[in-house]
Amino acid sequence: MQDGMAVIVDDDESIREAVCEMLQEIGEYSIATAEDGEEALKRLQTGGINLLLLDLMMPKIDGYEVLSTLRNGSVPRPVRVVVMSAHADPGAREGIIAMGADEFLPKPFNMSQLQAAIGNE
């Protein structure tokens, strides 16, 4: 089992808390949170992030801009990047993957969907 750092990025506190609880149940990650892309990029600067769970629609810097920043190498890329969004339809998955995400997780999701998306089934 890996023991790594996970960062949950979402402007909705209730979603951050719910995802945090699911990851705690999985039990393989130290967990940090960020409420917008700006805060996420600051966390990513330090490197060593195993898992980034990233919302797309956020104030200041959105998830698309975070993906773009990861793609151009301005910050260290986490081992796995999972985009979670209620606003992008599942058909947008290919585009999100092309932007640099490893997986797309439509909200709302359950524990088994999260485990599949992070590669922990």
Which segments within the chain are labelled E, that is strand?
A: 4-9, 29-34, 49-55, 80-85, 103-106
Instruction: Report the pLDDT value the prediction gives residue 1, as an integer from 0 to 100.
Output: 39
* 4-117 belongs to CATH 3.40.50.2300: yes
Domain chopping of the chain, boundaries: 4-117
pLDDT, position 88:
64
User: What is the pLDDT tens value at each position of the chain, 121 positions in all?
Assistant: 357 999 999 999 999 999 999 999 999 899 999 999 999 999 999 999 999 999 999 999 999 999 999 999 999 999 999 999 887 666 788 889 999 999 999 999 999 999 999 987 6
* pTM of the model as a whole: 0.93
